[in-house]
Amino acid sequence: MTDTLANTLDNNSKRSHRRTRMTVHERLQCIFDEDSFTEIGAERMHESAAFGLASKRHAGDGVVTGWGTVNGRPIALSATDFSVLGGSLGRAHAAKIHRIMDFALDQKIPYVCINDGGGARIQEGVGSLDGYGGIFRRHVKLSGVVPQISVIAGPCAGGAAYGPALSDFVFVIDELSETYLTGPAVVKKVTGEDVTGRSLGGAEVHSQRSGLAAFRCTDEEQCYEDVRYLLDILPSSCATPAPTWSRTANAEQSQERNNLILDSIVPESPRAAYDMREIFTLIVDDGDFLEVHEEWAPNLLIGFAHIDGRLVGIVGNQPSVLAGALDANAAEKGARFVRFCDCFSIPLLTFVDVPGFLPGSAEEQGGVIRRGAKLLYAYCEVTVPRVQVIVRKAFGGAYIVMDSIGLGANLSLAWPTNEIAVMGAEAAVEILHKRRLKQSSDVIGDVQQLADEYRNEVMHHTYSAERGFVDQLIDPSQTRGYIKRFLSAVSAGPHYGEDRKHGNHPQ
């Protein structure tokens, strides 16, 4: 890194702080319980002399590492200090991160990484690249053993971008977060494209379009509060269960009201849209549903909640977006979440209202078969307790993929509004009665009549239950009770061993 670049980055850091950007130690104060953080390697410095580095040696070498507690539970952390050489990573800087990641693995405690730096330290050459290699290898070793959370709290360029991508959950912050493999200057030089850091890799880009960011926050205070909440509900490792939460005092009275609402929440028209989130909030404890990847692939909802104090992962189609159809992005989104829940023995609830996979050449050429298979594979692979709730339509391969009994769901429940079939009735009769409809003088009327007959024959609400593809037909108001009893029956849960089941590979 040249002196000019280092000075520019330092000056940018000062300007950023005037824009309410926190210092590294202010960030630690927001995350950890008061006076709980223990720093290690505070005096570590780089040993390089090339390109003027001999006169730029700083205690800590641009990264703070250590451990502390969040609501009394231990957490390991590394946090880049942008004010030191632009937060660039050299060998000593990397060695500190390696050590705290090894500590997280040995002690089986969550690892949090706050990223705010310009990538590999150019002056140290291949040594800095090797340092990133060690970080990436440790991310993979930690994967599936402890939760990994990355915060992008400033620039995160080049090799630094891959650490967050290997984490379980990435937080981005409006106005601050920028992450990309090649920055605007390089893009301009190579492709001629004139872009800003924010348009190339800002918070909106990664929360809405790339799918890298699981959570998007308006400012740093909100971000670290949300990080604390996520750490609070997740298990510390694959070897320990998630903490049990207690409900509020008036929870049962609220649930009685919720059950009344549930019985009429699905519109009478099978084509009418509604918000699946409302169903989640009416069923889970205190209506608290922590949505993950809220802005990316919104036709599939994923997130965490509690049922009777027990943490569960929830997956559900969203009828208000693309009618709830699955596409390639939604499949990848769901697959990684399902794998995370399996890694940490979190039971899964899957709510189904899906007309199929989104048709079209863009989806087919975009790899919907290959990427859709990821969700299929994820459900087939998991060993955690699983409940499927068929809310309304469940058609074709999308029905299978959404954790059907055929894939191994432990319990399949269906509401009276369920319709399960290879495809919708109108589409089915156009294939079954193609010749008749060609000769019809009233195609629309005949299609409607034949569709009604088809529904009555193979799509009525008891059809699948009568043939064993649904375990129980229930009223919507009974859903929470059935799930509670199921979770109680599997309360011992899977075996919590020392070894991970599997890692949680990138999207």
Is there a contact between 390 and 474 (Cβ–Cβ < 8 Å)?
Answer: no
Is 360 tagged catalytic? Answer: no
What is the helix (H) or strand (E) element at residue 80, kind and residue range?
Answer: strand 73-80
Among the options 6, 92, 160, 398, which is catalytic? Answer: 398
Q: Give the contacts of 142 (CB within 8 A, at least 6 positions apart).
A: 101, 104, 105, 111, 148
pTM of the entire predicted model: 0.91
**Is 59 known to be catalytic?**
no
Catalytic residue among 158, 201, 313, 356: 158
CB 402 within 8 A of CB 354: yes
Q: Is 7 exposed, middle or buried (0-12, 13-18, 19+ CB in 10 A)?
A: exposed
pLDDT of residue 36: 97
Return residue ranges of the chain for CATH 3.90.226.10: 3-233, 251-418+461-489
pLDDT digits (tens, 9 = 90+) for 150-190: 999 998 888 888 999 999 999 999 999 999 988 898 899 99
Of the residues 68, 119, 131, 159, only one is catalytic, namely 159
Query: What is the predicted pLDDT for the residue at 444?
Result: 86
Q: How high is the pLDDT of residue 357? A: 95
Residue 239 catalytic?
A: no
The second-level CATH assignment, the architecture, of 251-418+461-489 is: Alpha-Beta Complex (3.90)
Determine the pLDDT at residue 305: 98
HEC string of 349-379 equals EEEEEECCECCCHHHHHCCHHHHHHHHHHHH
Q: Which CATH class is domain 3-233?
A: alpha beta
**Residue 159 a catalytic site member:** yes
Low-confidence ranges of the chain (pLDDT < 50): 1-18, 492-493
DSSP 202: B
3-state secondary structure of 465: helix
Catalytic residue among 125, 397, 493, 503: 397
Q: What are phi and psi of 413, to 5 degrees?
A: -110, 150
